[in-house]
Amino acid sequence: MKSSKKRNSAKKAQEKQKNILEILKGHGAKIYRDLDDGQFPKFSIPSRSVSNIVYDKELRQYILGNTASVRSSRNSSQLRSFTQLMWLAFFANRLSQEKKSSTLRDVYYSSQAFAIEFDDQSESDNIIVDLEAVLSKPREDFHIFPEERSSIFGDLNIEYTIPGYEGKTMNLSNHPDGYAIGPSLTTSELLDTSAEIVIAIEKGGLFTRFVEEQVDKKFKAIIINTGGQAPRSTRTLLKRIHDEMSLPVIVLTDGDVYGEHIAMVIKSGSANAAHLRELTVPDAKWVGVWATDIEKFKLPTIPMTESDIKRCHDLKNDPRYADGIWKKELEVFLRIKRKAELEAFSKYGLTNITDKYLPQKLELAKSL
């Protein structure tokens, strides 16, 4: 299985590139056709306004509704954003053809080489999301990558597809500090694994603890350090491991409302990525630290701040928090008004979290 997968990997990467180039070409051709027909060229963009973002219970994430807006070169108030979007499609085409990576910030500055005007980076970021919506593809597909780094450790064999590394393989359990998750890892072919679960954990210190205590071997796990809110690259990789290797994903965070939301974003994304499906793992399970764990395990706590409490109230209005543990734990946080960090288990010894808490939660995850 491994070798046949290996043979396919370079081909798949080529197909992906071909695919994005064809989609871009299609949009470019339409602009030319409009011009040939004596029409003002235009783009149709799925509307990303709040009124067009709805929660889809089946997909278990936010999606865009059917409203589309037109960005036309005929309308002088739309000419600026039409031009920006057209330039970006051109630039995305070049990045994809040359297989060069870039970042949101790179794109903003690159525009200046072409005398395309953006007031600031937030304006160009916004146009990049527009292009994602037009193409229905995440920006990583047209080579705009996040610059944050998280890391991964565990028995997973991958094969690189980026230029210069095609065909090279790596086992991700060889470097115990973890492999940084960037463009080469998220675009790699996932070959095989002996793991049976993925554990995403919020903090680097705990990641080290988990590696040191051989959680990967004892629980047949791939361990991912999200470094706080999981960057897009991490969420992409989590989804791919879940979908392609059929592994369940569990999330361990600090016991506070921000931790709960880190897990929710891994599970169902965010409203401003409602036009994408590549960043969510709807089956991901938040296993702790729950507000109820704080009481159950008598963890040392810190008082919630005003901003923590406000955040709880905000999330109560989010449909994703309307039932199940998501709702229940928010309510307990609001009642106890205390929070606890993952490291709080060190009160019972440094390995209490891996020896006692984790096995309980893994067992419980089966029934969640």
Which positions are catalytic?
109
Binders of a second copy among residues 203 to 242 (CB under 8 A) are 203-205, 208-209, 212, 214, 225, 227
CA–CA separation, 327 and 263 (whole Å) = 14
Q: How many CB atoms lie within 10 A of CB 102?
A: 18
CA dihedral angle for residue 109, residue 111, residue 117, residue 123, rounded to 10 degrees = -70
CA–CA separation, 63 and 270 (whole Å) = 10
- Distance of closest approach, residue 128 Cβ to a second copy, in angstroms: 14
Binders of a second copy among residues 171 to 190 (CB under 8 A) are 174-185
Nearer to a second copy, 190 or 274 (CB): 190
- Distance of closest approach, residue 288 Cβ to a second copy, in angstroms: 16
C-alpha dist (Å) from residue 337 to 255, 264, 303, 304, 307: 11, 20, 6, 5, 12
Which positions from 120 to 159 touch a second copy by CB under 8 A, shown as an x/- string?
-------------------------xxxxxxx--------
Looking at 171-256, list the stretches that DSSP marks H as alpha helix, in order from N- to C-terminal side: 183-186, 204-212, 215-218, 232-245
Strands 285-288 and 249-252, sheet pairing: parallel
The candidate with the shortest Cα–Cα distance to 343, out of 332, 333, 334, 354, is 354
CB 46 within 8 Å of CB 130: no
| Packing angle, helices 232-245 and 257-268, rounded to 10 | 50
Which positions from 292 to 331 touch a second copy by CB under 8 A, shown as an x/- string?
--------x-------------------------------
Binding a second copy (rule: CB under 8 A), the pick from 113, 246, 317, 323 is 113
354 near a second copy, rule: CB under 8 A: no
Size of the site for a second copy (CB under 8 A): 58
The candidate with the shortest Cα–Cα distance to 62, out of 325, 303, 265, is 265
Nearer to a second copy, 89 or 344 (CB): 344
Q: Considering all CA atoms of the chain, what is the largest pairwise distance in Å, rounded to the nearest integer?
A: 75
3-state helix, strand, coil in the chain (%, to 5): 50, 15, 30
Nearer to a second copy, 203 or 320 (CB): 203
Nearer to a second copy, 63 or 202 (CB): 202
- Distance of closest approach, residue 67 Cβ to a second copy, in angstroms: 34
- Distance of closest approach, residue 64 Cβ to a second copy, in angstroms: 28
Nearer to a second copy, 56 or 177 (CB): 177
- Distance of closest approach, residue 101 Cβ to a second copy, in angstroms: 5
- Distance of closest approach, residue 366 Cβ to a second copy, in angstroms: 29
In the complex, the residues that contact a second copy under the rule CB under 8 A are 100-103, 105-110, 112-113, 145-151, 160, 162-165, 168, 170, 174-185, 203-205, 208-209, 212, 214, 225, 227, 300, 341, 343-351
